[in-house]
Structure 1
């Protein structure tokens, strides 16, 4: 099947061809005709299969007929994070260059002035995160009564991250007679029931079982210990033919500390997490996309839908707490038919998390050959002694991961690389700021209350 068979306009087909695409992906082939027929829809497909174009392309043709009015957007796309919102905006610019459509991007972390000016001129497409949208709505800067098309992207994340009250509130401001589209990589049954409240007789298009295995991604488990994680990661970076890699951590503090550790070891590494302001996050992503750095240490704020071409490896420095997050993390590689490799560093305490991941995906992830990667095996029956391991792994050969220009190769001994060796940190410390779901607001007072103090 070709894009020309889907009923898209000649101008849109020209833009798609110039972008280098000829054949639609399965989710695009299934979704585009239904969207053009103005049907409500739930689209479920693995990450990296082109869900964004599934709604961007038909929306451009639908919105080509009509005129925008001041402060009354004609369509609304909700995204869970600023990065995803900016990415959708880039898609509209790329595919809509032969259409005279106006667009506004409402995200937090930037000045409202330019956003308000764009709304006052009238926009055909409004791409927003829920927080900034509700803020401007309550200030009287925007009316949603003329919005006839609603898209909730990454629906499971939007509904599962505490956005349910915001989405319900937003839906009450929209016309009752509207078209609503939900797209997601995973759709657990409880979340799907919540999503069904917003749709009228939806058509469900499922091109792959939720969280099923992507055959283009080779997955491996790497046994190590809490003390040996950083060395195991460095050994993998040196042993693998790493072009570009994303390393995921569960906590923002771990992201910051690991990025600094890799930089001290002369790797070209950067970081991105929810505590960074918007300009810093965009700047760091741009450095990664340009190739100024080839390793990005990230929290789960970068796991959903973020599309960076050419990511060859994903490393889970921490096994994710939620099995759905594993699917999204490793989905940053192996995109658009490319091959990728994903490694998850595990300790004995991760057994339950790995079991849940393998139940969800229906795939038993093999263990990586420790000799090949030089990793430190975990001890299953006894806890590691307080004295750190003194064994040096064989790191012979030239490291493949990109190092800072003119830097010397660090010693295998972490002490020579400038790292501290200390007793294991307690499971929860004062600086342990928890998982990163992209929240940048103040810490609620009740979280500071402890027990037994």
Structure 2
């Protein structure tokens, strides 16, 4: 491993005692140039699992171009990244960009983050500054470009001519299942079609239709950390209570007193609600989809520095919110999917730490009782009798736009011709 990764890239792991399992399995595969599908628990270090090889390959290309330079070698134009990472939400995009920024400091590889909800002109200015210098790729202010983006905003920039993807050799689809659920398939297909035909594609996803996987990848290596199926991190203590819908407020008050009352400083606690209208008069900061980007960032900053240790959020914070020291996650309302439940509780118990996730489950959530019970059993957590009383049936996951796209289909069977009289 050390022999294939430059020391200035490996510096990003200087604080590690050892790589996480997904990193240890992914690095040799991605560095070999193979396409890969990776599945691992939240908070397991997936960003560096694809980030470190991406930086290594970027520098390798830069040095090759530098050695082979000639007066006729045309430099890349502004707005031509080498590595592209797609993420479903702005929070995940920003978090991924921060990891690339930190890892890229020692090797002078810059990253630009492109997402909706922020002024276009500022992001366009940054995107236009992206360039590739084949003559001196390591010079100050130069370097190789990484773009981390949400699909919608990136496609806008492509249509405006501000970003061109014809030099992208590494494409990463992070939380790919979520992007499909949000209806980004047309954007992803258009974006992938604008990259190099010989690109390497790396995908991290809980679930993904084989038809889509086949459209983007060439004979991918599949890496799964842990048992097959939906599962939560075992560093999280999961507690599920089945309660009456009208009693949730009193239960929340009880939980806040239990976990936060009398403690100084107040431990960081993340409270998830399904809808922004469910915010109550709690001494906290909120984050939801209708807030401006500046307000969202201010809320997260106050939660991070501990000045507001209670954060009430909708599922916009379920993925990509990487804040150290979140001790408790409380699900005031159960999410629409069990996948989102796993991502929600994954905001605690990250990077080897432990945490507690306490969930209020009501009769309105009974359609997901079977899946939740399976997640609890897999983690060795207690499964309440009141939860199993709702039944143990597990429905096939369905996309909001495309329906049950995980149906098992034998693609080798030929169609049957039907003749009508």
TM bucket (normalised to shorter chain) is 0.7 to 0.9
- Structure 1 counterpart of 2:142: none
Separation of aligned partners in 1, 2:77 and 2:47 = 26
- Structure 2 counterpart of 1:181: 202
- Structure 1 counterpart of 2:189: 168
Offset at residue 299 of structure 1 (A): 0.8
Equivalent residue of 1:98, what SS? Answer: helix
Separation of aligned partners in 2, 1:22 and 1:68 = 39
- Structure 1 counterpart of 2:417: none
Structure-2 change in CA distance of 1:52 and 1:362 (3 Å): same
Separation of aligned partners in 2, 1:53 and 1:333 = 19
State yes or no: 1:246 paired with 2:241.
Answer: no
**Correspondences of 1:142-291 after superposition (within 5 Å):** 142-184=163-205, 186-187=206-207, 191-209=209-227, 210-240=229-259, 243-254=267-278, 257-258=279-280, 261-263=281-283, 269-291=284-306
Structure-2 change in CA distance of 1:318 and 1:6 (3 Å): farther
- Structure 2 counterpart of 1:139: 160
Offset at residue 325 of structure 1 (A): 1.1
Separation of aligned partners in 1, 2:240 and 2:162 = 50
Equivalent residue of 2:216, what SS? Answer: coil
- Structure 2 counterpart of 1:348: 363
**Correspondences of 1:17-416 after superposition (within 5 Å):** 17=14, 20-64=15-59, 65-66=61-62, 69-123=77-131, 124-184=145-205, 186-187=206-207, 191-209=209-227, 210-240=229-259, 243-254=267-278, 257-258=279-280, 261-263=281-283, 269-359=284-374, 362-363=377-378, 365-366=381-382
Offset at residue 68 of structure 1 (A): 5.3
In structure 1, list runs of 5 or more residues that go unmatched.
264-268, 369-376, 382-453
Structure-2 change in CA distance of 1:311 and 1:72 (3 Å): same
Structure-2 change in CA distance of 1:177 and 1:156 (3 Å): same
Structure-2 change in CA distance of 1:13 and 1:175 (3 Å): closer
Separation of aligned partners in 1, 2:152 and 2:333 = 29
- Structure 2 counterpart of 1:432: none
Separation of aligned partners in 2, 1:116 and 1:333 = 34
Separation of aligned partners in 1, 2:221 and 2:105 = 30
TM (norm. structure 1) is 0.74
Separation of aligned partners in 2, 1:120 and 1:29 = 35
In structure 2, list runs of 5 or more residues that go unmatched.
63-74, 132-144, 261-265, 391-421
- Whether the 8 Å contact between 2:245 and 2:362 is mirrored in structure 1 is yes
Structure-2 change in CA distance of 1:137 and 1:353 (3 Å): same
Offset at residue 15 of structure 1 (A): 3.3
Over residues 97-138 of structure 1, what are the superposed CA-to-partner deviations in whole Å (9 max), with x where a residue is unaligned?
111223221112222223222232324111111111111111
- Structure 2 counterpart of 1:444: none
Query: What value does the CA root-mean-square deviation take over the aligned residues?
Result: 2.4
Structure-2 change in CA distance of 1:68 and 1:246 (3 Å): farther
Separation of aligned partners in 1, 2:162 and 2:383 = 55
Separation of aligned partners in 1, 2:184 and 2:149 = 13
Offset at residue 156 of structure 1 (A): 1.0
Equivalent residue of 2:252, what SS? Answer: helix
State yes or no: 1:15 paired with 2:12.
Answer: yes
Over residues 163-209 of structure 1, what are the superposed CA-to-partner deviations in whole Å (9 max), with x where a residue is unaligned?
1111011112112111111012x115xx3442232000111111123
- Whether the 8 Å contact between 1:288 and 1:294 is mirrored in structure 2 is yes
- Whether the 8 Å contact between 2:91 and 2:319 is mirrored in structure 1 is no
Structure-2 change in CA distance of 1:340 and 1:104 (3 Å): same
- Number of aligned positions between the proteins: 357
- Whether the 8 Å contact between 1:221 and 1:365 is mirrored in structure 2 is no
Equivalent residue of 1:341, what SS? Answer: strand
